[in-house]
Amino acid sequence: MRFLTTFMGVITIAVIISCSNDDDQAETPQAVSTLPNIAILGTDLTTGEQGVVLDWDENYETSTRINLQEELGFEIGFLRNIVGSEVAITSGFPVEEYLFYNVSTRTIDSEPSFFTPNNPPGGTYTTNVGDAILTYYLDSSTSCCDIYLETFKRSTQTSNEVFIGDADISPVQSNIFAKGNYSFAKATDIFTEREVLYINDTRTGDRLGTLDVDSYEAFLYDDFREEMYLFDFDTGSFMYDALDLRTLTVRFNNNEFPQRFVISSGFNDAQFDAERMVFKDALGEVSNIYDFTTDEIVLYDRSVLFNSIFDETGLGFFVSNSVIDLDNNVYIALGTFQENNESKGMVVFLSLQGEVLQTLFTEDIRPDEVIFKN
């Protein structure tokens, strides 16, 4: 099976912990409770085949390799995303069928009839979140820019279609973002020529409202607090306004993230809990933890963590991806090392202080993505 995916390039990573308020090193107080129960989605280093799942038992003593080509039964697939323990894959372009492989239950859910538009569709863009498959499309019977959203609920096999607006949403891949209970589309209103944020409920598909965002350049959705942080970049700092999605009201000049925070134009993704945010740097790597309570940032520097892994394993480990599990306070590094001039895969669990907790050798599979099993 050929999977068309995008993974970040091979880099080294290490951790050094420092606060945003001074240059002294500070330790994070969180202790590791237990290792998370994960599988990985990876690439065969020998054949180059993508879409290989490597799953372990709960004690990480035995592993099972799952070839998604054989499991799903079609030749070319497009890896969409991973939601919980489900890997979402589509076939066709435009998308003809959604397939969901649940790693925890080893079951497959096929959705070939998720898109039944009320209007003749022109260009389409499809994504999925939670129980919903979302398809934004252009009504081809109009002269310009009539955008609709159809939301298909997998659990009830029902659809809801709503009119988004008369707007230019291109480039669509970077102007649509969906997570948790909300989907967002940023587009230029063709009548006012101003940038507008269109907000919909992913559970019902209903349109919740719009917001003029012509003065903002970057957006960061906090799914724990149900707020969208809005950045204008004009002040030269990380000051932001906050859109409360429950009331659709904006708190202006709400707060400011400290220096060493990283954000880019457009939609940004991050992890949140009651006290912390994990956000990625410009390379797409999990790099920092921001603490809302202390207003401090914990930085992860490449060289120190590289040395920590080398001291524990004797291996020069090159990280291709990494995530932080906030529930268990565990840093998970995915990557490869060289053995007898051959690349081998490995997963490394570390504490947030950079202590190696456990290593998993994946042999000829380069781990690319973490799947958290329910």
Would you kindly state where each structural domain of the chain is located, as residue ranges? 2-372
- 206 in Cβ contact with 160 (< 8 Å): yes
Both tokens of 69, joined, read 């080509």
Amino acid at the residue 359: T
Burial of 16 (0-12, 13-18, 19+ CB in 10 A): middle
> Is it the case that residue 133 has pLDDT exceeding 90?
yes
How does pLDDT run across 308-319, given as a tens digit for each residue? 899 999 999 988
Selection from 226, 210, 227, 222 nearest residue 271 by Cα: 222
Q: What is the pLDDT of residue 99?
A: 92
φ/ψ of residue 304, rounded to 5: -65, -45
- Quickly state the pLDDT bin for 35 (edges 50, 70, 90): very high
Q: Out of 25-34, 69-78, 198-207, 322-331, which region has the weakest mean confidence (pLDDT)?
A: 25-34
CA distances from 7 to 79, 241, 266, 331 (A): 11, 32, 19, 19
| Highest averaged pLDDT of the listed ranges 235-239, 278-282, 326-330 | 326-330
Q: In this structure, are residues 119 and 149 in contact, taking their beta carbons and an 8 Å threshold?
A: no
Hey, what are 258's tokens? 């400290």
Q: What is the pTM of this model?
A: 0.86
User: What residue type is 298 in one-letter code?
Assistant: V
Q: Which two tokens stand for residue 23?
A: 């240059």
CB–CB of 60/360 below 8 Å?
yes
The contacts of residue 329 (CB under 8 Å, 6+ apart) are: 28, 30, 31, 32, 33, 351, 352
Query: Residue 300's closest CA among 253, 262, 244, 251?
Result: 262
Higher per-residue pLDDT: 359 or 285: 359
> What pLDDT, on the 0 to 100 scale, is given for residue 32?
67
**Closest by Cα among 276, 283, 313 to 298:** 276
> Structure tokens of 36?
């998370």
User: What residues does 98 pair with on adjacent strands?
Assistant: 90, 111
pLDDT-derived band at 20, boundaries 50, 70, 90: very low
Distance CA 279, CA 304 (A): 19
pLDDT value of position 306 = 83
More confident residue, 165 or 33: 165
Mean pLDDT, residues 194-199 taken together: 98
> Quick one: average pLDDT of 198-212?
96
pLDDT at residue 16 in the model: 42
**102 by DSSP, 3-state: which?**
strand
Q: Write the CATH number of the domain with boundaries 2-372.
A: 2.130.10
pLDDT higher than 90, residue 259: no
| Identity of the residue numbered 223 | D
Identify the residue whose tokens are 């020529």: 193
Distance from first CA to last CA of the chain, Å, rounded? 26
Span 156-174, pLDDT tens digits? 999 999 999 999 998 998 9
| 202 and 128 Cβ atoms separated by less than 8 Å | no
Q: What is residue 93's predicted lDDT score, i.e. its pLDDT?
A: 74
Q: What is the pLDDT of residues 210-220, one digit of tens each?
A: 999 999 999 99
**102/119 Cα distance (integer angstroms):** 33
How would residue 30 be classed by pLDDT, with cut points 50, 70 and 90? low
Strands 97-102 and 86-91: antiparallel
3-state secondary structure of 317: coil
What is the per-residue pLDDT for 94? 76
Q: Is the C-alpha dihedral spanning 143, 204, 105, 279 positive or negative?
A: positive
| Residue 109 confidence (pLDDT) above 90 | yes
- φ, ψ of residue 167 to 5 degrees: the values are -155, 160
Residue 33 is predicted with a pLDDT of 66
